[in-house]
Amino acid sequence: MALQIGIVGLPNVGKSTLFSAITKKQVDCANYPFCTIDPNVGVVEVPDERLQKLAVFDKSAKVVPTVIEFVDIAGLVKGASEGQGLGNKFLANIRETDAIAQVVRAFDDANVLHVDGSVNPARDAETINTELAIADLDVLTKRLQTAEKQAKSGMTKQLEREIATFKKAIEMVNAGKMLRDGEWNDEEFADLKQLSLLTLKPMLYVVNVSESQIQDGSWKSRVEGLKGRLVPVCVKMEVELSSMNVDEKREYLETMGLKESGLDQLIKEAYDVLGLITFLTSGPDEARAWTVKKGSKAPQAAGKIHGDFEKNFIRVEVTNWKDYLDNGGEAGCRAKGLTRIEGKDYIINDGDVCYFRVNA
């Protein structure tokens, strides 16, 4: 199952229009078993020129990219944490996602009214972040009360740790800080993650800009005070691009002085904010991209291909994707000593072309 990015934002910032562009880019899900797509979920491929080049080199019969899911979360208004608007639905849906893409508006348009009367991305972000923090505070307070009640019947090391962790998190939220920015050890992070806390999730800001702003970079002056990972996207332009063929799209982007669409950039950034990397397999039958977490070891990567591969792992033959292309593929790299044989402790790198050896 692909990891999910929840798209959130205030009314009239371009959230729904962005999702419309995403769904027009949706991939055929035939290659992904057990994949039932709800109307508010868009499954898109992660752009990867390495995969396409490998497929051409090996004359692969099939090309299977890695994918990511975007979820259109119900709209948010001030007071959502108290149930205003569709607040409860918003909070329930976003808890199920792995990361958040928050859309903020940087363009001016007299025909598109702003819910707060003026365009101010930093203020909009503060509104949403405050609602997320209030919701987290409620969850943490209730969980702390439960842990303290349990401790009265007998304190354990786990309860002692959880109580300390929840108190630390509550103090941080009350200080106006996001939990994702805190310093947590592995046990503390696990205690918090099980609560599906909203401000613990990775977040990036999608800055909805005009065509002129994305060309001259003037959007940057509109986001002063907005801290975090920023991705400028002209949502209006993305809708137009989504109806073009490959050549028309390339020509249009060149006239705008852009190397790639904002939507492609957003997909890459969303993939990265989740802490993911891609390893590759390639041959005449199929060229395929596989997703693993940064820091994954070779047996875990093998398990992505087939569950039995992880427990039956022997070794992996690894080649850098560029070496693979520049030196005659698998056979050429082996002959030149560019293919390494690695064991179970090898940490997979982004762009590794892998061939796994496993017990039958």
Q: Two tokens at 256?
A: 């705008």
Kindly tell me if the per-residue pLDDT of 228 is higher than 80. Answer: yes
pLDDT (0 to 100) of residue 17: 87
As a whole number, mean pLDDT of residues 226-254 equals: 92
Residue pLDDT, tens place only, 303-346: 999 989 999 999 999 999 999 999 999 999 999 999 999 999 99
Q: Which are the contacts of 32, defined by CB distance < 8 A and separation ≥ 6? A: 2, 43, 67
Nearest to 276 by CA among 28, 66, 44: 66
Residue 31 binned pLDDT confidence (cut-offs 50, 70, 90) = very low
Average pLDDT over residues 120-129: 92
Is 175 a residue whose pLDDT tops 80?
yes
Which residue in this structure is represented by tokens 């690894």? 318
Q: What percent of the chain has pLDDT over 70?
A: 91
Tell me if 186 sits within 8 A of 295, measured CB to CB.
no
Range ranked top by mean pLDDT from 11-25, 120-134, 159-173, 264-278: 159-173
Q: Among the ranges 13-17, 113-117, 335-339, which has the highest mean pLDDT value?
A: 335-339
Q: ∠150-153-157 over CA atoms, to 5°?
A: 65
| Weakest mean pLDDT among 40-54, 105-119, 221-235, 245-259 | 105-119
What pLDDT digit, counting tens, does each position of 179-197 carry? 999 999 999 999 999 999 9
Average pLDDT, rounded, for the chain: 89
At residue 297, does pLDDT exceed 80? yes
| pLDDT band per the 50, 70, 90 thresholds, residue 72 | confident
**pLDDT at res. 274:** 92
Residue 82 has pLDDT above 70, yes or no: no
Alpha-carbon gap, residue 53 to 59, rounded angstroms: 10
Query: 340-342 and 229-233: which strand pairing?
Result: unpaired
- Mark 193-231 as b/e (b = at least 16 C-beta within 10 Å): eebbbbbbbbbbbbbbbbeebbeeeebeebbeebebebb
What pLDDT was estimated at residue 280? Answer: 98
Say yes or no to pLDDT of 35 above 50: no
Of 198, 201, 205, give the one whose Cα is nearest residue 224. 205
**Per-residue confidence (pLDDT) for residue 178, from 0 to 100:** 95
pLDDT at 29 over 70: no
pLDDT(85) > 60: no
Token pair belonging to 63: 């090309």
pLDDT of 32 > 70? The answer is no
Q: What pLDDT score does 75 carry?
A: 61
Asked whether residue 28 carries a pLDDT value surpassing 60, the answer given is no
Q: Which residue has the higher pLDDT, 141 or 88?
A: 141
Torsional sign, CA 32, 265, 86, 177: positive
